[in-house]
Structure 1
């Protein structure tokens, strides 16, 4: 297909024309001719041109603002022609400019509505393999950051976040957050965090059903040899575990002796930040009025070591953090009470 309509002398393409151009430029990447270097370069150049035109239609060109009716029509056409699937599946083949334009346009496309329905979100919901593909693309260092960007836009919508949480590919995030590339690991952690915090109701339902499997994997992050992993996963745990919809999950968590031991171990961490974060979860175990006998026994048996750790718990300079000090004192008093209880042999 000729891209003559991209020339300034010609009128700009209509949404249906641009949608066809986008699709044809992607399909050209599948043509047998692309085995030749020059043919591949030409095909990628056409993709770049069509993406640039899409960005102009969706965002304006600096002089003329985007026309909402055209933006919506283009989103509908892209879904109708299955071009949105090509955006995702061909992502590893795209050049830097095309990936940048796609990331810029993706959120705009997802926000387009007809009545109460998001047309592109509905499309992705019905083609959920696209979400799995984006998750797996974290393994491709060239496109990992773009995939993360697209995923986080998808996760803004509860129905798509729920799918990722419940998919088999979700477990990959426990590996991704410890990838050797700091940038990719950090990006994966940002996506992981959004999955566990953006939609508390959906997260709560997920955790209730997958409690043992999820926390079994999460414990490995909390005890990782990587400082950043330990710190960030502990901080994230506090964020989603203490959410009101997760009250039942938290109540179950603080009955588990193995997780109490994990928090006790983190209280000994060389990092002051980790010690404080661990304390904020540890205190819930101690404050629980319905502590099971196993929890009581562990706290009583280790009371000397725990009191020493709590006495040395770092607080802000000059005792500015009065709330932390008050909570620490309350926990100390509770542990002292438990130390006088007989411990079952």
Structure 2
């Protein structure tokens, strides 16, 4: 078949998670609920940290960045999916698909980098506590986040440019609920060897490098905790890492599960369903993990809502005054 030039491609079809019409209202309600919980939960974390001066520390600075990235991460895929279900349409424009793919890759990569930076922060706090504020000064924290953004922007741009050079034929159906990079590359009629090579190389480099950095940091943390003589000191050191370690485990295990399941079953639909775990469920659970296991966050949230209630009471009293 003669390849069709990429400029003639105007739209793709997102097949979603299920073809059955009777399941669409259930999927819509479920994903709308999860999306609202994700946005609200992460937004509360950001507001609690920004409103409480006691939480203006490197650890919570990185946590607020993670919450912001998680909001953006889910917002790249779920709203379009909900609109398609509501309008009973599977269409996404070519430009919209490339844009969605770019931002999805950007915020997915940022998740990896921010989690790695947070592991380094915990490593410095536990292994070098006396020099923590000297090492993790605001300029370095800002620089680490800035470098992460720059690298992720470049990585996402590289992948998007590789897709732009591909040509597509008549089969433009994506068996997913968003424009997933691998699925789009597989639809190409032109030679996609280079695109696949870049995709897998970047995934191994980014995911493997991030995992290596986190593993190294926690190996040093575990050694330092084991060397402590006080059981109370061990518990305090471990409790500061428990939330981050839970989030890292959840994100990496779900991401790994997606690619292992797709490699074993070779089913695009099962891969799409598995992708829900790290694209929707993990960002939704992160605020609960940090708020439930962190006394500072719980205290900040109580003070935040307490101040709002107090301001509301004062305003009501002022209005009642003659």
TM-score (norm 2): 0.22
Which structure has the higher relative contact order (CA within 8 Å, separation 6+)?
2
Q: Which has the larger radius of gyration?
A: 1
More helix by share: 2
